[in-house]
A and B are shown apart, each in its own frame.
Chain A
């Protein structure tokens, strides 16, 4: 066993094109961490969870890695240690300190009925992260309820994936970039003290949301994006006399557009740029019509390909490649101070999380969270399970006006909505409790 581990110690792989940038630009303030959580119907058993993580990791061996510094780039190497599973103590999506996490790039925690996995983006994206998380959940339920799953064949099935850099395989050498160089409106407000992060989950009735979106001729993502722009405009932009455009960055799963079964990162993004006054986007209907048009224009294989290709070209640029890592780091960090100013907020919708029928009865809901940053002070993420769609706002702002505005908008449309939060700011949860009473 030890011999085998010694051999594996030399296993290493390059970071994919997206992953390269995260260890260089990341720090305590910019964690580049996203979180997936599942709320089960019963309290979590820590020992079973630890066992489940080990079993899932045996199937996803490519996640058994640690980050190392090379001379020009960081790289991933085999990690012989076992992952740590512990009770949740800190705020969500915090920087994963390798020294206190057995060097792993993901961290599994639990609290009451909830299991969390915080993933550093260099390891993988939301799509593959969800698959790994689902594997942990399946194993956990099989361990805690053997009587229900003793005939289940899923447990022994090998998972097929590759670790290729699908960016390099699919990018177009001739494509020209389409990135906007205009700075975005930045959310204003007092920040929370002591590095606190507020998490507010708005649990929405999916059927009703789909119905209302359909009536407006929009997809769920388009509809939620439009509400987000509208609420930012009403609650923050107008009050602070904003002038720059509201820019919403929407990550896109590239596996829908290009053939790939990689478990490394393979995502790109589109940016919806709303020039509020210039384009007369002063009411919701106008904003929704604008968002639909933007999606139609930007969410095409050609446009997405252009964004992806221009990012790949940057990563494979021989001049950038040749700069030693210790020089690259400060240069990238400096340029990221500027790059971050190009987005008002990010809204990531990973869509439906499909769970095998027999396992569904143990699950209440899934949550997805992205780390907010000093510049992008609020970030939003959504995912759905069964008839629940959970829209999560993670924020470093003291005021919860945007979260509250979003909640009120959907309530006024007659869509049933519930609030859960980590209690750091309680503007909506208090009201919801009062409503319940």
Chain B
């Protein structure tokens, strides 16, 4: 063998199709959970709209070869801050912490998970952004603990997905993450 094994073009196309399928299943499951737990609040529709948005971003970034992780991180943090500000300006009813931020966290983590699995050989480029997203995601649990969040279901789903993402990432790329951290933070 002359080269380290990479995903073939056909396999990466198949994987993208599989993940789109999984996204559809997740969307259906979320609608069901929404109907059972909080039928008056249609948060699943918002998550699904976000997922469509995330896929458009991912597919665009794939074709343009841009660093998707950096975009995901910036958009997650940026849009979250923006929603908190809008919520605050409208009298702070708490919907930014109850709904918006958990939705952003779910979308960001699913996007990063897809990216990590599809191209884990390129993970080094994503490592720092991935860690920041994971750290930011932990905020959802902190806000539940602090009593800022009233509708807790979505926050628990968000932090669970974030935890799964973190574990999968560690399993796939622990060595690379370690190398990247040593390289970036050496004295």
Contact = CB atoms under 8 A, between A and B. Distances in A.
A398 interface: yes
A90 B122 contact: yes
B3 A422 contact: yes
B1 A112 contact: yes
Contact of B2 (A91, A111, A425): A111
Contacts of B122: 90, 194-195
A234 to B, nearest CB: 22
A313 interface: no
B12 interface: yes
A201 interface: yes
A199 interface: yes
A39 interface: yes
A367 B121 CA distance: 23
Nearest to A400: B9
B124 interface: yes
Given A89-B121, A425-B8, A426-B8, A191 B63 contact: yes
Contacts of A191: 63
A92 B13 CA distance: 21
A421 B2 CA distance: 7
Nearest to A367: B2
A28 B9 contact: no
Interface in A75-105: 87-92, 100
B6 A193 contact: no
Interface residues of A, number: 32
B51 to A, nearest CB: 20
| Secondary structure dominating the interface of A | loop
Given A89-B121, A426-B8, A194 B2 contact: no
B4 A111 contact: yes
B121 A90 contact: yes
Interface in A185-202: 191-196, 198-199, 201
Contacts of A28: 65
B6 A424 contact: yes
Nearest to B13: A193
B8 A423 contact: yes
A139 interface: no
Contacts of A243: none
Given A89-B124, A100-B183, A194 B118 contact: yes
Given A193-B9, A194-B62, A39 B2 contact: yes
Contact of A88 (B4, B9, B12): B4
A199 B3 contact: yes
B9 A91 contact: no
A398 B9 contact: yes
Nearest to B180: A100
Contacts of B1: 111-112
Given A193-B12, A194-B119, A91 B6 contact: yes
Contacts of A111: 1-4
B37 interface: no
Contacts of B93: none
B6 A196 contact: yes
Interface string B80-110: 0000000000000000000000000000000
A196 B2 contact: no
B62 A114 contact: no
B14 to A, nearest CB: 12
Contacts of A426: 8
Interface string B118-152: 11011010000000000000000000000000000
A211 interface: no
A88 B3 contact: yes
A112 B6 contact: no
A195 B3 contact: no
Interface in A229-250: none
Contacts of B118: 194
Contacts of B13: 193
Contacts of A142: none
A369 to B, nearest CB: 11
Contacts of A199: 3
Contact of B4 (A39, A89, A193, A421): A89
20 contacts: A88-B4, A89-B4, A90-B121, A112-B1, A112-B2, A114-B2, A193-B12, A193-B16, A194-B118, A194-B119, A194-B122, A196-B6, A198-B9, A398-B9, A421-B2, A422-B2, A422-B3, A424-B6, A424-B7, A426-B8
